[in-house]
Amino acid sequence: MTTSTLPRVERLLHSGPGGPTDPGLAGHVALHGSLAVPARHDPAWSEALLAEVAAAGLTGRGGGGFPAAAKWEALRRGGRRPVVVVNAMEGEPASAKDRALLAWSPHLVLDGAELVAALSGARSVVVCVADDRDASARAVRMAAAERSAAGTVREVTVQQPPARYVTGEESALVNWLSSGDARPVLRVDKSVPLRLGRRPVLVHNAETFAQVALIARHGATWFRGAGTGDAPGSTLVTVSGAVCTPGVVEVGLGTPVDEVVRRCGPTGPVSGYLVGGYGGAWLAPEQASTPLAPAPLARAGATLGVGIIVALPADSCGIAETARITRWMAGESAGQCGPCVYGLPAIADDLELLAGGRADPGAVGRIDERARSIVARGACRHPDGVARMVRSALAVFASDAAAHAAGRPCAGRHAPSVLAFPTSPALVGEAS
C-alpha cells in the first residue's frame, strides 16, 4: 500500500479527543469556540459577515459552485424575509459527506444556517434530509432541541422529502416543500430566488453552511489557508471503489485526484476515476494528477460535483458500470422532459447491449450523438450530467468500447459493481 503524502485537513470533520461522534452542543463549543449570533437583524454585523464570506471566496459545495455571498446579495434585493433551507438530501448514491457532517458536526451546520438566517433576516431554518436517512434526521432534531434549550431564537425544523436523485435539485426541493411534488421546475432566470409562498428561499448544501460557521469564527484569511487562490478552502470528498478505507475525507481544494485516493489506501491498479458522481465524468489514469478544483476539472472535461471519487478497479468494466449508472439515472429522472423520457433510456439500452458485446456497429456513434443531443434541453441539468458522464466513458474506455462493439466484451462486465444503486420511491407525495 502506498502511504499518503497528503497533509491532513481537519476543519469540518475535526472529531476532537472523543473520536468521530457528535460531541453535543457543549462539546461542539469546546471544540470550535462559541459563536455570537444577533437575535435580531443587525445591519452592521450582517455587512461584516457578508464581507468576510465574500473575501473568503466561499463557493457552494452542493455542485453548483456559485459564490455564497453573491447568492445572499441577490436575496437581499428581494426585500422580504426569506426562509433558509439546508440541503442535506445527498441524492448522489456515491456521496456520504452530508451524512458524515450531520453525524459528526450537526451543530456546525446549524451554526452556519443560523448565521445566514440572522444575516438575511430569516426567522426559520428548514433542514431537508431524505426520507431514508432517519439517523441524520434524528441527529439534526437532537441538535436543534439542544440549541433551543440553550436559548436559540430561530426555529429549526426537519423535513424529509423522498430519497431520489433529483429531489436534491434546488427547485425540486422547494417545489416539494411547497406542494409535495419533488419534480424540478423550469427556471428561465436563475438569479430570481425560488419562493415558498411569498417568501424567497435561500438554499445551500449542508457543507456550505458548515464552512460559513468556520469563516465566521476564524475569518477569510484562515479559510484561504487551505485550497488554492482560485479555489480556496477545504472540501469533503467521498472516496470509494479500489481503496482499503472508503469514506469521507477532507482535503484542500486543488489536491490532485490520485493524492486523495492515496489517502484512502489504493488496493491496486485502476482503469479510471469517476469524479463528481453519477452526473460527473470519468477521468483516465493518465489524468489522475488533475487538481480537484472547478477550473482544472473543467479543463479535463469533468466537474467537482458534490465531491466524489470512485476509483474503478482495473478488472472491472467501465462500459458495464457506465451502462448501470445510465440505467439508474434514467429511472431517477422526474419523467417530465424529452431528454429524460426518451434520451436517457435509449442511451442506457445501447450501453447495455454494448457492455454485453451484442451492440450493432453503429452503437458507439449513436450513444455519443444521443448524449450530445440531450444537453441543455431539460428543465433541470439531470440529463446534462448523464450525457457528460457517458461521453467521458466513451473517451476514457475507448479501446474497451471498440472491443465490445466488435463482439469481444471483457470479462470485467461480470464483476460485481463497485457502485451503489438504491431503490427509488415516488416523487410526488405529501410534504410532511
Which stretches of the chain bind ligand SF4, using CB under 6 A?
Answer: 166, 183-184, 333-337, 339-340, 378-380, 382-383
Query: Pick from 131, 148, 119: which is nearest to 89 by CA?
Result: 131
Which lies closer to ligand SF4 via its Cβ, residue 54 or residue 185?
A: 185
Shortest reach from residue 326's CB to ligand SF4, in Å: 13
**Cα separations in angstroms, 413 against 74, 167, 318, 355, 367:** 49, 31, 8, 7, 18
For the chain, helix (H) and strand (E) counts, in that order, are: 17, 10
Shortest reach from residue 303's CB to ligand SF4, in Å: 17
Cβ atoms of 353 and 359 closer than 8 Å: yes
Distance of CA 83 to the CA centre of its chain: 21
Shortest reach from residue 372's CB to ligand SF4, in Å: 16
Cβ atoms of 49 and 115 closer than 8 Å: yes
The conformation of residue 277, written as its DSSP 8-state character, comes to S
Please give the Cα distance from 292 to 276 (Å, whole number): 10
Which lies closer to ligand SF4 via its Cβ, residue 102 or residue 334?
A: 334
Shortest reach from residue 300's CB to ligand SF4, in Å: 25
Find residue 181's DSSP bridge partners.
428
Which lies closer to ligand SF4 via its Cβ, residue 319 or residue 344?
A: 344
Shortest reach from residue 133's CB to ligand SF4, in Å: 21
Shortest reach from residue 294's CB to ligand SF4, in Å: 22
* φ and ψ at residue 428, rounded to 5 degrees: -110, 120
Within a 13 Å sphere around the CA of 378, how many CA atoms are in the beta-carbon half?
29
Which lies closer to ligand SF4 via its Cβ, residue 57 or residue 161?
A: 161
The conformation of residue 341, written as its DSSP 8-state character, comes to I
Which lies closer to ligand SF4 via its Cβ, residue 292 or residue 330?
A: 330
Which lies closer to ligand SF4 via its Cβ, residue 130 or residue 379?
A: 379
Which lies closer to ligand SF4 via its Cβ, residue 31 or residue 341?
A: 341
Please give the Cα distance from 274 to 256 (Å, whole number): 14
Which lies closer to ligand SF4 via its Cβ, residue 184 or residue 272?
A: 184
Shortest reach from residue 332's CB to ligand SF4, in Å: 8
Shortest reach from residue 91's CB to ligand SF4, in Å: 11
* φ and ψ at residue 256, rounded to 5 degrees: -60, 150
Distance of CA 353 to the CA centre of its chain: 30
Q: Give the CB-nearest residue to ligand SF4.
A: 378
Which segments within 89-187 are labelled E, that is strand? 124-129, 155-159
**Cα separations in angstroms, 347 against 91, 327, 330, 403:** 22, 8, 9, 19
